[in-house]
Amino acid sequence: MFSTWSRWFSAPGSTGGSGGGPWSPPCQLLQRCSRIPRRRIGCLLPPPAMTTETTAQILAQALNPLDCRKWRNKSASWRVLKVLKLPVEFLLLLTVPLVDPDKEDRNWKRPLNCLHLVISPLVLVLTLQSGAYGVYEIGGLFPVWGVVVIAGTAWAAVTFFATTNSEPPRLHWIFAFLGFLTSALWINAAATEVVNILRSLGVVFRLSNTVLGLTLLAWGNSVGDVFSDFTLARQGYPRMAFSACFGGIIFNVLVGVGLGCLLQISRGHAEVKLEPEGLLVWVLAGALGLSLVCSLVAVPLQCFQLSKLYGFCLLLFYVSFLVVALLTEFGVIHLKSV
């Protein structure tokens, strides 16, 4: 019996046994692991111990818009631009919740998400109608924004004590809708301020609203689409870029104008006047219709394979339209009175 146990516990090559007992396979496995490359041994080793972070550390890390490792590897111009963007990025991190389904934790940051439940509804109230609804008082005693803060604080407290830092709750998808609403109202607030700035420029330089909308507002509204479509076309997705160009115009005309007029009428205005008696309105409508008809005819004739000549023709058409529209607005081109 003693000899049997000695054979079982003896290692291969030892004098106490032949090494063929039940304990020899683990020893052989270790010998084989020594010959396995290091990049393949990770699957055989136990997982490392999980490092737990405190709530304060999670909050500080979630609100930090600067990556120190990326900062050291970037150029000086990138750093200057990053410093200018830091206040905006910090404000967006503080007010807009983000749900990422590609991550294991779906970007669940317990302390920050609880802050979002207080700050995001407050942003919604203060940015809607330029804060007109936020300053309303209930019964002439308590403002609306105070009610929103109290309700958000209560909701955040319940969420904080009912969840953990490591696992997102079941209703985490609600933060996605909250982030969408907050970001949409931030865009609306930024667009409102841009329009106010354009009005100020029009008063200072004595420019009409038509010229401002035709030049500065149109360029600012479309520069994002230009770069995105340009990038898509260069990456080998011309069909997507081409459809996005026309889809963006249709969305702006139908949804932008339609929804804007509907909201304006709902505020008590019986109608929205576009002043069609001027010549410039006909120039704008004619140029838009002519460009669409030309594309409708030229693209099928080229078998949907666009050439450089077609691109140059579109650019020349836009420059010609812009010159004619500006000359019409400043009275150089006008209709002769009978």
Judge residue 114's burial from the number of C-beta atoms within 10 Å of its C-beta, 0-12 exposed, 13-18 middle, 19 or more buried. Answer: buried
pLDDT tens per residue, range 130-140:
677 777 787 77
User: What's the token pair of residue 132?
Assistant: 């007109």
pLDDT tens per residue, range 146-178:
889 999 999 999 999 999 998 889 889 999 999
In terms of pLDDT, which residue wins out, 230 or 319?
319
**Strand, helix or coil for residue 10:** coil
pLDDT at residue 315, rounded to an integer: 92
> Which positions ≥6 away from 111 have C-beta within 8 Å?
55, 56, 58, 59, 62, 160
Q: Could you tell me the pLDDT band of residue 128, with boundaries at 50, 70 and 90?
A: confident
In terms of pLDDT, which residue wins out, 5 or 308?
308
pLDDT tens per residue, range 214-258:
888 788 778 878 888 888 888 888 888 888 888 888 888 888 888
pLDDT at residue 277, rounded to an integer: 60
Annotate 113-126 with three-state secondary structure: HHHHHHHHHHHHHH
Q: Pick the most confident of 12-26, 210-224, 307-321.
A: 307-321
Q: Mean pLDDT in the chain?
A: 79
pLDDT at residue 35, rounded to an integer: 54
Residue 253 is classified by DSSP as I
